[in-house]
Chains A and B, each alone.
Chain A
Amino acid sequence: MLTPRSRPGFTLAELLIALAAAAVLLAVIASIALRQQRLFAELADDAATTGRLREAIAMLPIDLRAVSPASGDIREARDTSLEIRATIASAIVCDTGGHTLTLGPALSGTDTFAAFLATVAAGDTAWVLDTRDAAEGWIPRRVTSVSSTTAARCANGGPVLSGPFTAIVVALDTLLPGRAGTVVRVTRPVRYSLYRSSDGSWQLGARDWNTTSLRLNTIQPVAGPFLPPSAGGLVFSYFDSNGAAVTNPVDPRAGLALVRVSARAQANRAARVLGAASTERRADSLDVAVFLHNRR
């Protein structure tokens, strides 16, 4: 067929067939690659949505678990906001003197006598466990100043320690009934709520306590964005030990035993691959139930 003179090459028909085949193949590859990219984007979006929800339902129980509704730790409770007294420190009293409490030291290891989540400051509330009667109530005192001292040992009844240690001394506004060995916890208000941020999205925000102005600071975002309140972006609900809804959770006698937090968020893009050609943005929700220990 090939003579020495003829130049080898494609015929027009061959070229057309090859081009058409290549075009089909490229189109298939392109569509698969596009779909692939969309799927990955949707999966990432989906994971981010669940991640936002998990942030909210992981953050809130930390403060909520330490709350004692019977002691009035619930300052305000609504369906989209919750203001509580968060416990920032707890300690065994090492020594007392007039209006002051010397707290046991925070030691590494298991034999510690104090735990601090934040530095105790003037304006915080110290709650001294009153062991004088069987009811064991917490007596609140306002912290007026905080200093530290070096002590060699604690008073009788307090932690048994040898050697000098640094201890925190908390001055209180009025005399207290506590003595060495009693338990004290320090609280500071914090308020969580679903709020609309400046970009129009709904965020879970926290307002912590300003110990100087004795007011709540401006709101700071914690997690989000979530759906608006009308779509159940973040809902707090309150129940007693029988599972009945509590209408006034602030009341120490209301018997609040369980707080449920439900968060709802929406994906950023429509789930066209994951949701089988759906044009809707997927909404996802998670809820967490927090069982309150410190109740009567």
Chain B
Amino acid sequence: MNDQPARAGARFRRGFSIVELVVAMMLVAIGLLSLVGANTVLVRRRNEARQRLTAVMATANRVAQLSSGPCVAVSGAADGSSGMAETWSVRSEPNATREIVDSVHFGARPAHGFVVRTRLPC
């Protein structure tokens, strides 16, 4: 292979073979693909954040709406956009107070959710 050891460094340089080139390109392509994969994660996180904001606002608004309402026991459920499901209830408590509970679930795989519980005078 290297039959001119004395002059190899000075006069000859072996170039890349086509196989090496293809391997290098594949490596670059894999790197780029991972970049694209990261984008998917980015967009998914952003959608999750948006859903979370929608859910938080829906809960806060529901609690405000129920707080403004009369002091009677009620319950209900509503479905929002992108798989959001909300259930709420108002329960009369002793000493002229009421408990408002609102729970929201949103997103599929993984499903998120939270419960807001508050007590107010009648």
Contact = CB atoms under 8 A, between A and B. Distances in A.
A8 to B, nearest CB: 5
Nearest to B22: A21
Interface string B33-67: 00110010011001000100100010011111101
Contacts of A21: 21-22, 25
B57 A286 contact: yes
Contacts of B7: 4
A216 interface: no
A15 to B, nearest CB: 10
Nearest to B15: A10
B64 A289 contact: yes
Contacts of B25: 21, 25
B110 interface: no
A267 interface: no
B67 A291 contact: yes
Interface string B64-90: 110111100000000000000000000
A29 interface: yes
A8 B68 contact: no
Contact of B65 (A14, A25, A43, A291): A291
B116 interface: no
15 contacts: A2-B4, A17-B18, A21-B25, A25-B28, A25-B29, A50-B50, A239-B68, A241-B70, A242-B69, A242-B70, A258-B64, A286-B53, A286-B57, A289-B65, A291-B68
Interface of B: 3-4, 7, 11-15, 18, 21-22, 25, 28-29, 32, 35-36, 39, 42-43, 46, 50, 53, 57, 60-65, 67-70
Lowest 5 CB-CB distances: which A-B pairs, in order? A257-B68, A289-B61, A291-B64, A289-B64, A258-B68
Interface of A: 2, 4, 8, 10, 14, 17-18, 21, 25, 28-29, 32, 36, 39, 43, 46-47, 50, 57, 239, 241-243, 257-258, 260, 274, 286-292
